[in-house]
C-alpha cells in the first residue's frame, strides 16, 4: 500500500519519522477495513434475511417471478448506502462490491454452519443468491460516470436486469424435470419436498402468483425490468440514507 503526506496530513511532530507515520496510517487503514467489513456484514445480513428471507434461503423459492423481483430490490438498499459512504468520503469505487461480498461471506457461513452443520439441510437446498457481478456493475457505473444520478438510473436498472442471468448458471441444473408418483416436478421442487422442513409447507412458496400472465412464459424479463425500476427508486432513497449515516457530528468542548 502506498501512502503520501502531500495533502498536508496532521503528521506534524507527533511521529518520530515519516515511516512511523505511514506505518500508523496503514495499520489504521487495515483496522478500519476489517471493522467496516464486519459491520456491513452483520447489518446487511440481518436486513437481507428479514426482507429477502425465504426467497434467498431455499432453492424451491427461487422462482422466475417473485425471487428476481424482490431480491435485487432489498439488496439495493445497502449497496446504495455503502456507495454513498465509500464514494463521497473516499472516492473508492468498492461500496456495492464490498457489501455484497460481506453479505455473501456472512450467508455462506450461516448456510454452511447452521443450515448444513446443525440441521443437515444439503447445500443444494440452501445456497444463497449470487450478487457479486451486480456489485461490480454498480461500482463501475458510478466510477465511470462520477454521478450518483446516472448510477441510480443506469446502475439501478442493470442491477435488476443482471440478477437472473447471474444466478442461472447455478440454478439451471435444478430446473431439470423429474417426476414422483406421476407428478411433474423440477429438481428444485423435489429437493424442497424430499428434505423435510416442518415450518415451510409447500403453500407458502410464492411461485408465480398474481395476474402477470400477458407475457406468456417470458416472465423473467418483465420481473427483471420491474425490479430494476424499483431498484432505481430505492437507490435514490438509500444513497441519501448512507449519506446521512456517514455524517460526523461533534460536540464542541465548550458545550461539555
CB of 255 to other proteins, least distance (A): 21
Site for other proteins in 29-88 (CB under 8 A): 29, 32-33, 60, 62-64, 88
The one-character DSSP state at 200 is -
Contact status, residue 141 vs residue 155, Cβ threshold 8 Å: yes
DSSP structure string for 92-106: -TTHHHHHHHHHHHH
The rounded distance, in Å, linking the Cα atoms of 48 and 72 is 10
For residue 165, state whether it binds other proteins (rule: CB under 8 A).
yes
Quick one: cell of 115?
443450515
Residue 191 contacts other proteins per CB under 8 A? yes
Residue 203 interacts with other proteins (CB under 8 A)?
yes
Smallest gap from residue 30 Cβ to other proteins (A): 8
Interface residue with other proteins, options 172, 251, 253, 256 (CB under 8 A): 172
Taking a C-beta distance cutoff of 8 angstroms, is the pair 106, 45 a contact? yes
Long-range contacts of 180-189 (CB under 8 A, 24+ apart): 188/59, 188/60, 188/62, 189/60
> Using the rule CB under 8 A, is 120 a contact of other proteins?
yes
Place of cell 395476474: 211
Report, in Å, the least distance between residue 16 CB and other proteins: 19
235 part of the interface to other proteins, by CB under 8 A = no
Q: CA dist 175 to 116, 168, 181, 193, 238, Å?
A: 22, 10, 18, 14, 34
Q: Site residues for other proteins, window 90-119 (CB under 8 A)?
A: 90-94, 97-98, 100-101, 104-105, 108, 118-119
State the Cα torsion 149-152-157-161 to the nearest 10°.
Answer: 140
Radius of gyration of the chain (CA): 22
Contacts with 42 (C-beta within 8 Å, 6 or more apart), sequence order: 106
Size of interface with other proteins, in residues (CB under 8 A): 94
4 or 17: CB nearest other proteins: 4
In the list 74, 166, 224, 232, the residue contacting other proteins (rule: CB under 8 A) is 166
Q: Which is nearer to other proteins, 121 or 238 (CB)?
A: 121
Could you say whether residue 243 binds other proteins (CB under 8 A)?
Answer: no
Residue 250 binds other proteins (CB under 8 A): no
Is the CB of 2 or the CB of 17 nearer to other proteins?
2
Q: Which of 49, 51, 150, 207 binds other proteins (CB under 8 A)?
A: 207
Amino acid at each position: 500500500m502506498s501512502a503520501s503526506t502531500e495533502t498536508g496530513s496532521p503528521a506534524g511532530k507527533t511521529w518520530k519519522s515519516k515511516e512511523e507515520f505511514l506505518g500508523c496510517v496503514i495499520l489504521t487503514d487495515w483496522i478500519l477495513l476489517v471493522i467496516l467489513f464486519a459491520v456491513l456484514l452483520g447489518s446487511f445480513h440481518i436486513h437481507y434475511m428479514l426482507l429477502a428471507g425465504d426467497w434467498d434461503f431455499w432453492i424451491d423459492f427461487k422462482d422466475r417471478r417473485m425471487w428476481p423481483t424482490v431480491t435485487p430490490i432489498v439488496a439495493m438498499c445497502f449497496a446504495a448506502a455503502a456507495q454513498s459512504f465509500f464514494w463521497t468520503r473516499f472516492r473508492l469505487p468498492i461500496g456495492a462490491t464490498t457489501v455484497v461480498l460481506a453479505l455473501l461471506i456472512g450467508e455462506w457461513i450461516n448456510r454452511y454452519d447452521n443450515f448444513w452443520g446443525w440441521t443437515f439441510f444439503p447445500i443444494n437446498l440452501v445456497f444463497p443468491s449470487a450478487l457479486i457481478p451486480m456489485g461490480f456493475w454498480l461500482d463501475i457505473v458510478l466510477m465511470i460516470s462520477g454521478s450518483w444520478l446516472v448510477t441510480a438510473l443506469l446502475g439501478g436498472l442493470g442491477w435488476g436486469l443482471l440478477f437472473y442471468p447471474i444466478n442461472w448458471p447455478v440454478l439451471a441444473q435444478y430446473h431439470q424435470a423429474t417426476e414422483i408418483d406421476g407428478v411433474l416436478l423440477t429438481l428444485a421442487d423435489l429437493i424442497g419436498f424430499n428434505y423435510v422442513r416442518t415450518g415451510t409447507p409447500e403453500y407458502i412458496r410464492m411461485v408465480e402468483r398474481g395476474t402477470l400472465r400477458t407475457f406468456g412464459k417470458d416472465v423473467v424479463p418483465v420481473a427483471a425490468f420491474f425490479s430494476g425500476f424499483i431498484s432505481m427508486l430505492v437507490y435514490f432513497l438509500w444513497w441519501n440514507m448512507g449519506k446521512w449515516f456517514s455524517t460526523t457530528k461533534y460536540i464542541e468542548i465548550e458545550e461539555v
